[in-house]
Chains A and B, each alone.
Chain A
Amino acid sequence: MAHAHAEPHGTPGHGGHHEQTFFQKYIFSTDHKMIAMQYTFTGLAMGMIGAFMAYVFRMQLAFPGSSVPGFGVVSPGEYNALVTNHGSIMIFWVAMPVLIAGFGNFLIPLMCGCDDMVFPRVNRLSYQLFFLSAVVLVASLFVQGGGFAGAWTAYPPLSAVGKYNLTPLGATLWVIAVALEFVAFLLGGINFITTAMNSRAPGMKAFDVPMVVWMIVIASILFMASVGPLIAGAVMLLFDQTLGTGFFNPGRGGDPILWQHLFWFFGHPEVYVVLLPALGIVADVMAVFARKKLFAYRTTVYTIIATGVLSFFVWAHHQFIAGIDPRMANVFTITTVLISIPIAETCFLYIATLYGGSIRLTTPMLWALAFLAEFLIGGVTGIYLGASGADIYFHDTYFVVAHFHYTFFPIAIIAVFAGLTFWFPKMFGRMMNETLGKIHFWGTIIPFNLIFIPLFILGAAGEHRRIFDYSTFPELARPELQALRIIATVSLLVMLAFQFVFLYNFVRSMIAGPRAEKNPWKSNTLEWTTESPPPHGNWVEMPVVYRGPYEYNHPDRAEDYWPQNEKP
């Protein structure tokens, strides 16, 4: 390590100490913490739009044809646009920006002990492109014909031909928005990977990095290695829509299945791209509140790398009924079942971390435990869908919908709440209210299960996922099935109502919560060694690292934690 321990500080990169204008500080900032906030708040705002869409189409499904308060009567075309954009927004404009870009930007420099990302201006450009993509997507909802209505997977010919999807402008804007979003995250990913690889504090070896940093870096690599074909596919789809090519048109020498391959070659690793940061957040929260060393740190890293590699060989399990060769379906069934092994192993490693720990049931810990429990249900139901035989029946039913919500909800909502409540003191310098936090927790978790368990039952009963109104399908319009739809919708309303508790707690704590000290959770990692919130440049004197991040309850020490930067 070439650096002297006392690295010079103050001169580089922070524009000196002159007063910054509002625009410099909040809009065109190159500071990683501010960019993290921009990503997080944009993501949460998009999340509200996505949640509103879910509310509207769930109301339509429970009470078909009635006027939805705040929206009006839903037309079939609007229904399609709502489900399409709900899916797109929740994955590309909520899970990605909050989990990877929000936490990645905030945590990587702080946890690696450096003053900023390695390319602050590239980082700013990344957010600006992301913001532009969000603007394009929201604008697409208001153009003639309305938002794109070809489902979030955008299968051609429905997505490629305006007279099929009836939203020619919305479809084109949707493709442009998605492509812009990908470019934004490629730029961000290069920053995350390079910063974690090259800019760690003196003394910090690769296995001294907190798990969440490993996870975000591996996720960024997965994203980078999988999104290319879909970027190419997006260009091809855009040309099919606007320039009259026939890449996905079998009548003109193209192939609609090609899009499905390009989409899912990205789409399946994408599940792990958002899963890994969530797993990382949960690992760090669990170690802190179990007051115990993370069980099998290196094994976890290797397991996750194995998962990442395997995730490139499972994509065709989304296409079992698309007419792919049954022999190929066999291969993908095997790889799909294989990938459950490392994921199950990770869950066991986390449970082993909890075993024998002094568990403190704070709000972040509750979220972390809930993540494990709920994600398990998502994982187990996936095995039915990964088996090509069972999938022929389950494909495109609500069983699939319930399955992937049991994976994505823990990822994008539960783990995000775990992370937000855990790092809130560091982000804003104040503590959140624990009582309100726990009310919000139970008010989210119980209704969540009451939304999606009925959907499993409905899916098993054969309810197809893309139907606007079931009253014209006698076998699906039975009152007992309609009752399940109503239970799911009412539970959604309850869950959404409880989000206002969080919103109130979040805003009130940010303004008037009790001041947070440097290290309120008695955690080891570097971000807790600086002020809350950290100043420009993060530390006055840059930290030096002497040990790994999970030295809790070390037998030789009186205190039960041992900060990474404390001299031995």
Chain B
Amino acid sequence: MLRPLATTRSAMGIPTGRLAVWWVLVSEIVIFGGILVSYIMHRLGHASWAEQAAHTNVWIGAFNTFVLLTSSLSAVLAHQAAEQGNGPKAARLLMATIGGGAVFLLVKSFEWTSEITSGFTLQSGGFWSYYYTAAGVHAFHVIAGMVVMGFVAASAMKNQDLHRVENVGIYWHFVDIVWIFLFPLLYIAK
């Protein structure tokens, strides 16, 4: 399908796609803001949640933080390649980012499996409810980002729609930043 004329205009001087991604992030910030503020308020009001939180594994969380941040690096390099007009290189770098996301999810599934088999489930207490819900909503965003990135990489491979590389990168950085809030709140704070 061809684009309407409206999509090609830029009265604000910002490309339309990038502008829209920023508005997506505005709505995402308040979604995660709602979960995190609720969590922080309740965590402060319940000293006993610290005992539940003591069972999370900081090292696994730290490893996942490292993986996710590294995947953002390749997203930035993909943007650079796209700026230079090198679609195939941008696509390969995006595939590396998708790989980072996959490692993140894989580690998370092992982590959750071991926690659930140790008896810490969604119903085990207030902390665990927030832990699984907040990290689960975040993981859902990681999966969504990987799917979209797959489409963007496929078109970038053919040197088409290279502006999308930057847009999906902005989204990916946001997913990263959310994790940077989640990691200390769910893992480090004991």
What residues make up the interface of A, taking CB atoms closer than 8 Å to B? 1-3, 7-9, 11-15, 30, 109, 114-121, 186, 189-191, 193-195, 197-200, 204, 221, 224-233, 235-236, 239, 243-247, 252-255, 258, 262, 265, 537, 542
Contacts and interface: CB of A to CB of B under 8 A. Distances in A.
B123 A190 contact: no
Interface in B109-154: 122-123, 125-126, 129-130, 133, 137
Contacts of A221: 26
Q: For chain B, which range describes its interface: under 10, 10 to 19, 20 to 34, or 35 or more residues?
A: 35 or more
B7 A253 contact: no
Contacts of A30: 1
A255 B11 CA distance: 47
Interface stretch (B15-23, B62-70, B87-95, B173-181): B15-23
A120 B27 contact: no
Nearest to B49: A253
Interface of B: 1-12, 14, 16, 19-20, 23-24, 26-35, 37-38, 41-42, 46, 48-49, 122-123, 125-126, 129-130, 133, 137
A253 B125 CA distance: 7
B171 to A, nearest CB: 13
B contacts with A: majority SS? helix
18 contacts: A2-B10, A14-B4, A116-B4, A118-B4, A120-B1, A189-B27, A221-B26, A227-B30, A228-B27, A229-B30, A229-B34, A230-B34, A232-B32, A239-B122, A245-B122, A246-B126, A252-B126, A254-B126
A199 B9 contact: yes
A232 B31 contact: yes
A12 B129 CA distance: 49
A243 B20 contact: no
A228 B30 contact: yes
Contacts, number: 157
Contact of A253 (B10, B11, B42, B133): B42
Contact of A227 (B3, B27, B48, B125): B27
A186 B129 CA distance: 26
Given A119-B20, A239-B129, A244-B122, A224 B27 contact: yes
Contacts of A537: 4-5
Given A224-B23, A228-B28, A243 B7 contact: no
B16 A262 contact: no
A235 B137 contact: yes
Of all A-B residue pairs in the complex, the 10 with the closest CB atoms, nearest first, are A228-B30, A229-B34, A253-B126, A13-B4, A232-B34, A228-B31, A114-B6, A116-B4, A199-B6, A245-B129
Contacts of B125: 252-253
Nearest to A196: B11
Given A198-B14, A239-B133, A258-B38, A13 B20 contact: no
B30 A11 contact: no
A231 B34 contact: yes
B129 A255 contact: no
Given A118-B6, A118-B20, A245 B27 contact: no
B16 A190 contact: no
